[in-house]
Structure 1
């Protein structure tokens, strides 16, 4: 007999065999909303097993040739299996250990238990969110190993593949705008800054490996395509335990797509407003008969017009990945990606009037030149290996290398508009050439054991990151511009022309960080869990700059050695669904400002306190949470205006600044009713300077709204209409301020909608309508009266057709 083999190949699965055993217990009683097309029976059984975390044994020879009916209703696992095998001649039974067995009537059930001929079909909810049709995940890998959302004493959000597809989430900018608690602040370049709780998220994790990314001055624009990722896991609040010296905003983990156990192919075409077109091929599956070698490839191409005159561009992504099981306990994976983008951008946005009032530009207004251009070329290599020592312990090693080039040459208006009626202004011409090389390594041991009568888990690891840049930039103004009649056809300058006319610099950054981390948890009593952790970090930062003629050389550096960051949490299970928690996290962030004595200002330090309630409802179909948090930060560098101007002709600094961020977060995600998937998040957040020579009492993070609501719901119609789904959502925020605290931006609510229809089991069509009410608003940004004011997208539509052949 040849039984279908579904190894626990994902490294994440190997770490948590104990959780797999719980799968049948849930599946036996739980009701699930199934949405399976008519296809071969082995495909339907595999999809059902992945969705429900069930363990199912079956004969592939007997099931591959059977055509299973479509299944679009809510059933238990056993009910669903019986419908799938109806009229097939196969039987359904249960083994002694609770597994489901599908077999020919003449097959002895004991044969299924021979290890040589069969293993179980099963999955952990975190293995992949593809095919789950869900807006939530039972657990995450953001904190190393596998952790249930309910057991993490901090706020966490998972943006699943299903939600990304439903909302047509293609870029990190789209992701941030649709993830509860995050704010996307438009940078002066072509990228963005990510903020959470008023602080930036400067480090991005790739499959759990952290590397510095979100720093405009280093040329990392964060413009990459999300088509190669299965999900995004976001932790709000400090992540010093795993990332060391870093901003307290939080952490984002992008988890790559991998080859699955069944061959899958999808071809998606898109066409939308402003001449936007896209085509994507996504294919993967086993590459040998035993399924021990699996591959995945994604090829994506898009051409994008814009509502802004002259603006357009194209993007291309090519991704390939292989995973190989050397043994049932050892899996090694490698992936490579190249992402390119070329565009004529509207850099630096538009200015406002000098008194901060709004000139009410047309949304199509372009103040650049026809030679504005920006290009991005990013190459990434991913490597990981996971080894299961036994059923309770696993070692994982992972590495990421990323090489990125960002270049741009552009024109923009540079000065605030005069209020006396004059249209005179200034053109600023910029040219940038940024090259960045980043690498990160992470190694950890994760396991569980029972000692002194207590169930315990332990994590011990180390990671390393290094980023080095080779950058150059130049700019020069041209006075006498007329902002009412912008000249788009001025001669294009070179970077050397600009440097000779005004200013140009050669700059370089080198940032290295390494550390050891550990986390220990113990179930003190049946409902109470104690979590303790600490990290010891070493941090080195060097910056150098000089003019193009190699004059005015300047170098600064800072180091932190053996800095310890403690972490503690308590989780109390009220019942099987709900738990309350409290946590404390310590944070440090090195600074580069100098004091009057010539030394570097000591690192910023902070403490985060959080109290929350979490629920895992409807057998894991829904996750809910609410949290209160307060983060106090001190030793921020502020200008020492009582001293002399001894730091490059200006005041030196001292460590006396204090900032507080506090608020409430609430979130619900998952299938709250049959066929209704929801992601809803509300955040109340205030940020304030407690001590600062210039801004005391003012808002610290001007682009962070006090109130934020993000909601998206998708409903699959019941009965004969079950091939149709309808989505609706909003992003609503209260007003924010400009970076220079001169003017306020009003709040806004933007509504989006979607209608999708399954033509048949292989073809589906959808229409996403964004900014349904055509709200005219400015995006949160590093905006000033002089530049960097950007409108949000007007009403637009994107049509898509997806073809997924049934094998």
Structure 2
């Protein structure tokens, strides 16, 4: 659970407290079986005590009947019997509950007591890879309560592995591929399908709509953790990916002051410095702040390539009263770089060209800049113990500009001697604004012995863009083994001169809105049923105009439009508690995905429709210190767009809806402290994707860059010597081969190892060295690997020294 717990302080359910003597007073109780929260509240009310209840601890738990003469403490112990929770009593006589056998000190906050270690379980300071709860859906639930596959990459794991950007994080977790796009950004896929809408604090916005290639990037310096749902996310974000959802949960001010200063230095002149500070800004703690300042610069193992990133973040959370909290933040990130775009071509046979990993195919004047400013605003109001309202908004203003050279083959690959090249000069100028809104009410109530949870809400997202690019392709007699990095730098006018220049202006306007609802009910103590639905509206338009010389009036293409109204997406599932630690679950989701490709006659294709099935087992072991799961999944999809080679739409072929595809497989994952001092993450995925019914591709793989086998592991062990100052980490990522874009050749799989050694020099200073690609494996990363380009080497062996100073308050 994110460590913004002062925003949701456990509610005081009694209005006065008694002395320690009064605690032992014998009272007469006659309470029927009911939900645990209700019973504990009634005991507190009848006895005149204060009890602090963290809602996620008691949610869904039942209490037996409490009947007889006993003290309030004895009555509460009776209610907690078999719940896996224990009663805590503070020195001032207030009650709270915590997981049985959970360590950690009890922390006093006026009339409220909480177990600090528990509330930090999914955020900074927890020291754990196991997440106790997630906010990926609406409300907060444990992983075991969600009948789909969920992974949380905690701040502890991110820091241990030295992960600072989203693509790297996703490529170290279960079942996700963060592929290099045709551009500096990335394409995220899960179970063979792209995830183009990313969530920020639960609010989805589109992050992969550009007029040219893929430019979406995201560093993680502003975020506490990454929550990942695999399987259809339509109920959460409408026409979201059938593959899953990504939720980035931002850092917020904590209840206690926290300051850290981190410096790093590594291979290829990689240097960085970060200040991260936050905490209460008032004596009562009702105002909390957070600020992050981060500077990072690095050269590269690739000749001439470099980057500099400047990041700034500020946030405030204000408790307006005991029931209402408002939060806001703003982040700014600017990256300047000399990138290599489109990588290296392949031979016409599909074989990779064996070039040094330092090979650069751009020009010395190549440059790119990305600026992104993001605004966050949310409000939470707690009506009582059981009902809460939340509204949240995210706005992102993004600019991507570049002047760069690409090298690609003139045809399908280069000749054996490296000839057959084309220089492609580009200037890009992309601007877009993304807006997301979400409002929901989550409530809990009982009808007799039945516990219910109701979620009702709606969300809206909007993307508008103003994009332009200029480009010219120039065939050359130069050789791939002797690339010219000093060709003349182009201008916009020079790229339009001659018959092969082109200037394109385009704009997107994409809007989505929906209403959703979900109902969780416990017909028995061990069974939870979940049903839900969403009604979605989707509007899409794309305008484009081409100019072929400086005086050209331009050729405007017909506006591509697509509208879908009132599409219903149902969802159903169950969770059955086999034991206190293990549960069995299953879920079914309809999938609705609009398609923006155009059919002959400029008509929009029918939406993709499909069905997603999943079943498996989840475990919360060792009092929640370890999460584990195993899942079997299948997704069938129809109406997928394929190229129609017999018709043209604008300057390219039209598309047609054709056939049926299937993605299916098995996933297994474990995370947390498996033995004392050893934090482990391990995730395995077996995934096949095939065309089941298609005029040209039946039986073939449809997701070229989804490996059939993926295994990602990392373990960090605190050595029981020298006062536990030393820790060491080791892990690897391995995957089987993928296919190239043309599906006529394979991209070999690989195994890459990483390690870490850390030493706690003083209570305030930590030293760590991370080593990536320990055995210096030479490999090609999976992605858009094409015959004419986009083949990129993985990083060679490299090191990073980190010094972190954390003052003790």
Matches within 5 A, 1:553-564: 553-554=556-557, 555-564=559-568
Aligned position for 2:27: none
| Residue 164 to residue 101, structure 1, CA distance change in 2 (3 Å) | closer
State the alpha-carbon separation in 1 of the partners of residues 255 and 329 from structure 2: 17
1:464 to 420, 439, 460: 460
1:119 to 112, 118, 135: 112
| Residue 414 to residue 58, structure 1, CA distance change in 2 (3 Å) | farther
* Stretch deviating more after TM superposition (550-559 or 14-23): 14-23
Aligned position for 2:441: 445
Aligned position for 2:515: 516
> For residues 567-601 of structure 1, what are the alpha-carbon distances to aligned partners after superposition, in whole Å with 9 as ceiling and x for unaligned?
00011110110000110011111112334455321
* Stretch deviating more after TM superposition (501-510 or 594-603): 594-603
Following TM superposition, by how much is the alpha carbon of 1:222 offset from its aligned partner in structure 2, in angstroms? 3.0
State the alpha-carbon separation in 2 of the partners of residues 258 and 283 from structure 1: 10
Aligned position for 2:580: 576
State the alpha-carbon separation in 2 of the partners of residues 12 and 797 from structure 1: 43
State the alpha-carbon separation in 1 of the partners of residues 134 and 231 from structure 2: 16
Aligned position for 1:88: none
Aligned position for 1:490: 487
Following TM superposition, by how much is the alpha carbon of 1:536 offset from its aligned partner in structure 2, in angstroms? 0.2
1:130 to 103, 124, 132: 124
State the alpha-carbon separation in 2 of the partners of residues 566 and 488 from structure 1: 55
State the alpha-carbon separation in 2 of the partners of residues 665 and 633 from structure 1: 20
Following TM superposition, by how much is the alpha carbon of 1:742 offset from its aligned partner in structure 2, in angstroms? 2.5
CA contact (8 A) 1:330 1:388 kept: yes
State the alpha-carbon separation in 2 of the partners of residues 295 and 331 from structure 1: 13
CA contact (8 A) 2:514 2:534 kept: yes
1:392 to 381, 386, 399: 386
Matches within 5 A, 1:510-549: 510-548=509-547, 549=552
Query: Could you say what secondary structure the match of 1:498 adopts?
Result: helix
CA contact (8 A) 2:183 2:214 kept: no
State the alpha-carbon separation in 2 of the partners of residues 445 and 765 from structure 1: 45
In the alignment, structure 1 residue 139 sits paired with structure 2 residue 137: no
State the alpha-carbon separation in 2 of the partners of residues 422 and 325 from structure 1: 65
Following TM superposition, by how much is the alpha carbon of 1:239 offset from its aligned partner in structure 2, in angstroms? 0.3
State the alpha-carbon separation in 1 of the partners of residues 325 and 630 from structure 2: 37
Matches within 5 A, 1:758-773: 758-773=760-775
State the alpha-carbon separation in 1 of the partners of residues 324 and 164 from structure 2: 33
State the alpha-carbon separation in 2 of the partners of residues 308 and 175 from structure 1: 22
State the alpha-carbon separation in 1 of the partners of residues 418 and 686 from structure 2: 42
CA contact (8 A) 2:514 2:537 kept: yes
State the alpha-carbon separation in 2 of the partners of residues 14 and 101 from structure 1: 16
Aligned position for 1:62: none
Aligned position for 1:267: 261
2:423 to 412, 424, 427: 427
| Residue 274 to residue 650, structure 1, CA distance change in 2 (3 Å) | closer
> For residues 775-803 of structure 1, what are the alpha-carbon distances to aligned partners after superposition, in whole Å with 9 as ceiling and x for unaligned?
00000111111100000000000000000
State the alpha-carbon separation in 2 of the partners of residues 492 and 255 from structure 1: 42
> For residues 588-636 of structure 1, what are the alpha-carbon distances to aligned partners after superposition, in whole Å with 9 as ceiling and x for unaligned?
1111233445532110011100011000110000000000000000011
CA contact (8 A) 2:5 2:119 kept: no
Matched residues, number: 727
TM-score by length of 2: 0.86
Query: Could you say what secondary structure the match of 2:763 adopts?
Result: coil
| Residue 164 to residue 253, structure 1, CA distance change in 2 (3 Å) | same
> For residues 700-738 of structure 1, what are the alpha-carbon distances to aligned partners after superposition, in whole Å with 9 as ceiling and x for unaligned?
111110000000000001143510000000000000111
Query: Could you say what secondary structure the match of 1:10 adopts?
Result: helix
1:688 to 680, 687, 690: 690
In the alignment, structure 1 residue 299 sits paired with structure 2 residue 293: yes
CA contact (8 A) 2:754 2:770 kept: yes
Query: Could you say what secondary structure the match of 1:120 adopts?
Result: strand
CA contact (8 A) 2:11 2:384 kept: no
- The CA RMSD measured in Å over matched residues stands at 2.4
Aligned position for 1:475: 471
CA contact (8 A) 1:57 1:118 kept: no
Aligned position for 2:589: 585
CA contact (8 A) 2:210 2:467 kept: no
State the alpha-carbon separation in 2 of the partners of residues 220 and 346 from structure 1: 14
2:154 to 120, 143, 160: 160
Following TM superposition, by how much is the alpha carbon of 1:279 offset from its aligned partner in structure 2, in angstroms? 0.2
1:662 to 653, 661, 664: 664
State the alpha-carbon separation in 2 of the partners of residues 645 and 700 from structure 1: 22
Matches within 5 A, 1:68-467: 117-122=110-115, 125=119, 128-217=122-211, 221-415=215-409, 418-421=414-417, 423-467=419-463
Aligned position for 2:755: 753
State the alpha-carbon separation in 1 of the partners of residues 87 and 250 from structure 2: 24
State the alpha-carbon separation in 2 of the partners of residues 787 and 707 from structure 1: 25
State the alpha-carbon separation in 2 of the partners of residues 213 and 11 from structure 1: 30
Following TM superposition, by how much is the alpha carbon of 1:184 offset from its aligned partner in structure 2, in angstroms? 1.4
State the alpha-carbon separation in 2 of the partners of residues 237 and 678 from structure 1: 24
Query: Could you say what secondary structure the match of 2:511 adopts?
Result: strand
Query: Could you say what secondary structure the match of 1:162 adopts?
Result: helix
| Residue 251 to residue 21, structure 1, CA distance change in 2 (3 Å) | closer
Query: Could you say what secondary structure the match of 1:456 adopts?
Result: strand
| Residue 550 to residue 368, structure 1, CA distance change in 2 (3 Å) | same
CA contact (8 A) 1:125 1:139 kept: no
Note the residue ranges of structure 2 that are not aligned, 5 or more in a row.
13-36, 38-51, 62-84, 93-99
* Stretch deviating more after TM superposition (684-693 or 790-799): 684-693
| Residue 357 to residue 331, structure 1, CA distance change in 2 (3 Å) | same
CA contact (8 A) 1:638 1:693 kept: no
| Residue 792 to residue 656, structure 1, CA distance change in 2 (3 Å) | same
| Residue 131 to residue 23, structure 1, CA distance change in 2 (3 Å) | farther
CA contact (8 A) 1:523 1:530 kept: yes
CA contact (8 A) 1:587 1:605 kept: yes
In the alignment, structure 1 residue 611 sits paired with structure 2 residue 615: yes
CA contact (8 A) 1:12 1:145 kept: no
Matches within 5 A, 1:10-25: 10-11=7-8, 19-20=54-55, 22=57
2:703 to 701, 704, 709: 701
| Residue 55 to residue 410, structure 1, CA distance change in 2 (3 Å) | farther
Aligned position for 1:70: none
State the alpha-carbon separation in 2 of the partners of residues 256 and 183 from structure 1: 22
> For residues 168-212 of structure 1, what are the alpha-carbon distances to aligned partners after superposition, in whole Å with 9 as ceiling and x for unaligned?
110111111111111111112111111110111111100000001
| Residue 170 to residue 650, structure 1, CA distance change in 2 (3 Å) | closer
> For residues 352-406 of structure 1, what are the alpha-carbon distances to aligned partners after superposition, in whole Å with 9 as ceiling and x for unaligned?
1111112111000111100111100000100000000000010000000100001
CA contact (8 A) 1:54 1:122 kept: no
Query: Could you say what secondary structure the match of 2:730 adopts?
Result: strand
Aligned position for 2:555: 552
State the alpha-carbon separation in 2 of the partners of residues 428 and 625 from structure 1: 48
Note the residue ranges of structure 1 that are not aligned, 5 or more in a row.
1-5, 27-51, 60-74, 82-99, 103-114
| Residue 694 to residue 663, structure 1, CA distance change in 2 (3 Å) | same
Query: Could you say what secondary structure the match of 2:320 adopts?
Result: strand
CA contact (8 A) 1:187 1:216 kept: no
Aligned position for 2:791: 789
State the alpha-carbon separation in 2 of the partners of residues 777 and 592 from structure 1: 35
State the alpha-carbon separation in 1 of the partners of residues 479 and 683 from structure 2: 45
Query: Could you say what secondary structure the match of 1:163 adopts?
Result: helix
